[in-house]
Amino acid sequence: MKKIKYQIDELRKKILKYDYFYHTLDKPMISDSEYDYLLNQLYDLELKYKEFITPDSPTQKIGSNLLDKFKKVTHFFPMLSLENTFHLNGYLKFENRIKKNFTANYIIDFCCELKIDGIAVSLIYESGTLVRAATRGDGYLGENVTQNIKTIKSIPIKLKGSNIPKRLEVRGEVFMLKSEFFKLNNKGLSIKKKYFSNPRNAAAGSLRQIDSTITAKRKLMFFCHGFNFFEEIKFFQTHYEVLIQLKNWGIPINKDMLVCSDHLEILNFYKKFEKNRLLFDFDIDGIVIKVNSLYLQKKLGSNNKSPRWAIAFKYPSKEEITKLNDVKFEVGRTGVITPVAYFNPVYISGVLIKKASLHNKNEINRLNLYFNDYIIIQRSGDVIPKIVNVIKSKRLENAKKIFFPIYCPVCNSKLISNKGGKIIRCLSGLICDAQKKKIFCHFFSKNALNANGLGPKVINELIQKKIVLNLIDFFYLTENQLKNIENIGKKKSVKIIKTILQSKKTTMSRFIYALGIFSVGEVVAQKLSNYFNIFNNLMYASKQELELIDGIGKVVANNIFNYFSISENKKLVKKLTEILSIIPYSKNFFNAKIEHIFNKDIVITGIFKEYSRNELKEILIKLGARIGNKVSKKTKLLIFGEKVGRKFLEAEKLNIQMINEKELYTLLKSIN
């Protein structure tokens, strides 16, 4: 069971990282198909081992954290993601699941629409006037982008016509035309400014401009695909009817919609636009299929992540042929060697691609790569480039085979591989310059010691100018030393020194995570902190003792033990513990202060003003709570906000203790 728990934890960490890069930074790291594969793996494991489901699992979430520069607003109705499939069988499973819920008396038809690759937004109209616009964010809290949305010419500030509801939510996709995208990039390149990788990325960057005049110049577009009424509207029966009415009120919708009664009609619609999608001046990555009846939509409802009445049927990836020029072996923070292929640039779906990760030694062996090979590049899920095959018939007679190195390409240390040979690492740590920079950056990152202002550029210059040779040196930096760094004046140098001093006070779990031990993420760091309480106990723990900790298997235990077995690491850690003020995890403290929370099964429901539900979950988990998704006899406490539902009623029936948002904040303040 420990291995299963570890597998689930590792999958979650990966997916949450990819979520952050996709939803928050608009920089996808992997393809949709690769992401879906990982997510489906996690779904299957959690379905089989329900005891390991946690509230922060990606299967329970919608998006990722918000950027700080826009004010947060709470969505009146959660903005959920869509279930998706790349195959007809996936759609048929969805359709069969729908039909199982209803008798043969119901005639179920579906509204099919194009899936435009843009940024999801919510528009609130009051008495026909646009009063608020927000991005999806984490599904519960979004970013207020009202002023920027008002610059989009296709979005009406005032609706026209009659019978307009007093309050209405319109949902849709903000996107950039391909023609505008190319103009923007050409202009950027001509003045040596940063260019965007694709139209979606350009739309996201344009929508999140602090200066609305910049957004206005970017000529963004909008199509509506959804809606919510704040009061019951009886004169609409179907999703299609509402979209047509929204169009009459002045809201732009995509004209390519079709109501279908069976999967053959849906498949024809899918194939028609798959064939012609490159002819459109905007990116389409599939179609969206929705139960047309509003009554049936309401009956089917939603789960935590997606509505049960809709699915995205996505298109497969596109391919191009190009010539491989080189393979470079990059060294990661933990010493993992990742091969990266560089090839003649090719355009796929309007994006210029010139490199692709080869992931590991096994992938190089699978492809049997030679220098100057002609390779097939696929932009998986229309996002991440991948080498899918080699055209061996075009290989040169004297071509040289590409081999994985035996020695580190940066420090020349001998590389070590795991048993399967998949992961190959340089174990030199701080001796290796490539690892040094990344180790320093990780140590002071947001979720570690959180020294704001001490970013990669500053750290890189400090290393290059030999101002810092190890982690200890950072805590003795002076203003004069920082003045030697480019673009750092007196004010910024004072701020950096201050944040480094503030970072000295940290928790044991943050410090463990900051050390960057291979395979020790935030979850494992918290477990180690909870178990050992005092750092020295962890440093001198045996493999056997480490393996006893719930959720830590042999591999992770071995990595932790090996880290502290290296004398240089031990010396460094001892010096750091002398400099830092590490707050131990005290069970007695938590029991005394918050007996309502520590080691209790807690369920959260409703919408909260000060925090999102995910933020609350994170706070409570750190205080020792176990967060559940369902109310049961095991539940000891229900924390509720506004707009509560079924969970609140179930807790009342079971006579479970309940506290509201105000009572929770009072409780949390009492422990500070």
Residues at the annotated binding site? 32-36, 81-82, 113, 136, 173, 290, 314, 408, 411, 432
User: Cα separation of 535 and 556, whole Å?
Assistant: 17
CA angle 59, 60, 65 (to 5 degrees): 100
User: Cα separation of 393 and 391, whole Å?
Assistant: 6
Q: Which of 14, 61, 115, 438 is catalytic?
A: 115
Region of residue 450 (left: phi > 0; alpha: psi -120 to 50; beta: else) = left
Binding site for Zn(2+): which residues? 408, 411, 432
Closest CA to 283 of 379, 374, 198: 198
Closest CA to 121 of 216, 26, 210, 225: 225
Closest CA to 660 of 605, 611, 615: 605
Closest CA to 650 of 627, 631, 629: 631
Q: Which tokens is 311 given?
A: 């699915």
> 521, 513 in Cβ contact below 8 A?
yes
User: Cα separation of 372 and 470, whole Å?
Assistant: 41
Q: Which tokens is 565 given?
A: 């077995």
Binding site for NAD(+): which residues? 32-36, 81-82, 113, 136, 173, 290, 314
> 152, 220 in Cβ contact below 8 A?
yes
Region of residue 477 (left: phi > 0; alpha: psi -120 to 50; beta: else) = beta
Q: Is residue 483 flagged as an active site residue? A: no
**AA letter at 466:** K
Closest CA to 133 of 113, 118, 155, 117: 155
Q: For the chain, how long is the longest CA-to-CA vector? A: 80
Cβ neighbour number for residue 564 with a 10 Å cutoff: 16
What sign does the dihedral 499-501-502-503 (CA atoms) show? positive
> 474, 468 in Cβ contact below 8 A?
yes
Strands across the sheet containing 351-357: 351-357, 337-348, 318-331, 374-380, 384-390
The catalytic residues are 115
